[in-house]
Structure 1
Amino acid sequence: MKRLLAAAGVLSVIVAAGPAVAAPAKHGACKAPAGAVLVKPGTESKEVVATPVGALNLTEDEVGTYVLDLSGKPAASRGKLTFTLSWANPASDYDLVVNGVNELSTDNPEVTSVKASHCRAVKVGIAVFTGVPVDELTLAAKGA
């Protein structure tokens, strides 16, 4: 009887403790491809980009590759990149093209957000709807 009670006591301790919980997986820092911009959550990269030159409504130029680095957020596997394109000339209209998708907007600034996985490259382009080659375009990328 004592053995049975002792075994029951050990069993109740094992059940009460429950299964071991693994620590969250940690991400290593990203190695961005040559020329790519590395963006971490809570940071922003801003730069003046070349104005696409060509036929209106037909010209699209790739202006950069961005990589979201989630190494500071070990439990996250996906985050968000928000791109903002702005220009001073109110008569111009440019569109952001993110990973080949153009949302065709007339907004200035033009803002597009995409979900991004850790260390995955996101390609950004600019399409000219109407504009002039002297327009100065500013592209910002913010991680979340």
Structure 2
Amino acid sequence: MKCARLVLSVVAAGLLVAPASAAIVNPVMDFGIGYAKEGTRVADDHTSTSGDVLTIVGHVVQFQEPFDDLDPNDPNKEYTYVYTGMVSQGTAIQPAGSFTFYNTDYTGGTLSVYCDTAQDADFANMTGFDNGDLILQANVGTLST
């Protein structure tokens, strides 16, 4: 079964005629555990080198209105998300008594959500997350960690 490609246009049309009192429950999508990779970063080093590009991949585990017609538990489909192109501004290290805060800002990038009938997402190789039908795409302004 082919994934629907017109989800966004149908949703947009539905939102235009929705009553003013209708409220969207957040989050409209719940992302499962993701895998992140960033340039020269090492897992046990809490810093990020300025200019490194962050990529995060994972599965969507729940949808709510206006996407509640999509079922992440459908055995014939795989819903995945991909954050790409987020550029590190470097890590600011701030000692605070017995604690240390590591703050990193990322700018730019894109969030994409896909529906795929081939369940081929592979965390070990970070492949198969960005194929299938694109059902949502958004620009990421700034991400702070």
TM-score higher than 0.5: no
Higher helix proportion (structure 1 or 2): 1
Q: TM-score w.r.t. structure 1 length?
A: 0.21
RCO (CA 8 Å, sep 6+): is it higher in 1 or 2?
1
Structure index of larger Rg: 1
